[in-house]
Amino acid sequence: MKLAVVILNWNGAELLRRYLPSVIRYSEGVDIYVADNASTDDSVDMLQREFPDIKVIRNSTNGGFAKGYNDALQEIDADIFCLLNSDVEVSEGWLAPVLNTFETRPDIAIIQPKILDLLKPDYFEYAGAAGGFLDQFGYPFCRGRIFQVLEKDEGQYNDQREIFWATGACMFIRSEVFRDLGGFDEDYFAHQEEVDLCWRAWNAGYKVFYVGTSKVYHLGGSTLSNMNPKKTFLNFRNSLFSITKNLPRKKAFPIILARLLLDGIAAIRFILQFKVNHCLAIFHAHLSYYKRFRKMYRKREKANFILKYYATKSIVWSHFVHQISKFNILVKD
């Protein structure tokens, strides 16, 4: 199987200089690309000077994560795409378990490895951890990370299993599936576009998998930190986009109405924490969603909708009321 590792870059010369060497070292025989999103720093010049063997694709505009990858992947011939953040350090042997799974399981379309924190390597990292899931209201969480609580890696997730969504920080996807799904939804710009892509993959009959014997280390927050109001805006709005697009109408509308209340509670909680900008971000997220509702509704999948998309009814209730912060307690496999 022909694999291409594709790193999306925007003004990340220093990140590339720091983390690209590990990708080169542990990806022998694999084509490595950097897709540059119209950077204004010296990223491209630095790559040509210091990493001349790396293939560079120049996107004409900075269309965010979604459009950046959509444009770049059109130019790459491979069976498997590995979409890799520029702030990820990979480990020796990271590719073999993933490729073996693809070869032995043709029903699997998307795979995520174990994502550990680069600064605290014994702990899972926020963006993906040990595989992503949703609750009934569309809120995402992970094995190894529930809200801001990160578990220590003690081998509890060294398995291989189905997950609902794979993180865009390190996502492997069959190229034919990526194209069949039409790539990422560019209206998301960034954040949760991978949740939508995986949800559409499930609706189309594909499977998403986690392979815990492959691991990478993610710095995280290099584009937007978890506490940036813009990230709050994108996460809340794009989550509503995904519900609208990927659920049957009779299920989607009650969930959207419930989200009005739940997101309002989240906004009040931000006020009580003196994070007024995050409260305003949620308000603007809803305004942006309602403005684009018709467009999102027209994008609804024509394939059969899967009805069991969630792993628990309410991650908010379980975590903040019952104080559950570990996946294995929350979800009984």
* DSSP string over 174-193: EHHHHHHTTSS-GGG-SSSH
Q: Which residues contact 5 (CB under 8 A, 6 or more apart)?
A: 23, 27, 30, 31, 32, 33, 82, 84
- Report whether pLDDT(221) > 70: no
Q: Which pLDDT score, from 0 to 100, does residue 276 have?
A: 96
pLDDT band at 118 (very low <50, low <70, confident <90, very high): very high
Tell me the pLDDT of the chain averaged across its residues: 95
Tokens 């174990």, located at residue: 114
| Cα distance between residue 263 and residue 137, in whole Å | 10
| DSSP one-letter code for 107 | T
| Cα distance between residue 197 and residue 72, in whole Å | 17
Tokens of residue 13, six digits: 């010369």
Read off the pLDDT of each residue in 115-139 and give the average, rounded to a whole number.
Answer: 97
pLDDT digits (tens, 9 = 90+) for 265-310: 999 999 999 999 999 999 999 999 999 999 999 998 766 798 889 9
How wide is the angle at C-alpha 165 spanned by C-alphas 161 and 171, nearest 5°? 90
CB 33 within 8 A of CB 7: yes
Q: The pTM is what?
A: 0.95
Q: Which pLDDT score, from 0 to 100, does residue 260 have?
A: 94
CB 246 within 8 A of CB 199: yes
Task: Look up the CATH number of domain 3-218.
Answer: 3.90.550.10
Of 150, 123, 117, the closest CA to residue 216 belongs to: 117
Segments of 98-197 assigned E as strands: 108-117, 132-134, 140-142, 145-146, 149-150, 160-162, 170-174
Ordered by start, the domain boundaries in the chain are 3-218, 229-330
pLDDT digits (tens, 9 = 90+) for 22-73: 999 999 999 999 999 999 999 999 999 999 999 999 999 999 999 999 999 9
Read off the pLDDT of each residue in 208-213 and give the average, rounded to a whole number.
Answer: 98
Of 47, 40, 37, the closest CA to residue 15 belongs to: 47
Q: Which pLDDT score, from 0 to 100, does residue 307 have?
A: 84
Of 329, 307, 293, 315, the closest CA to residue 141 belongs to: 315
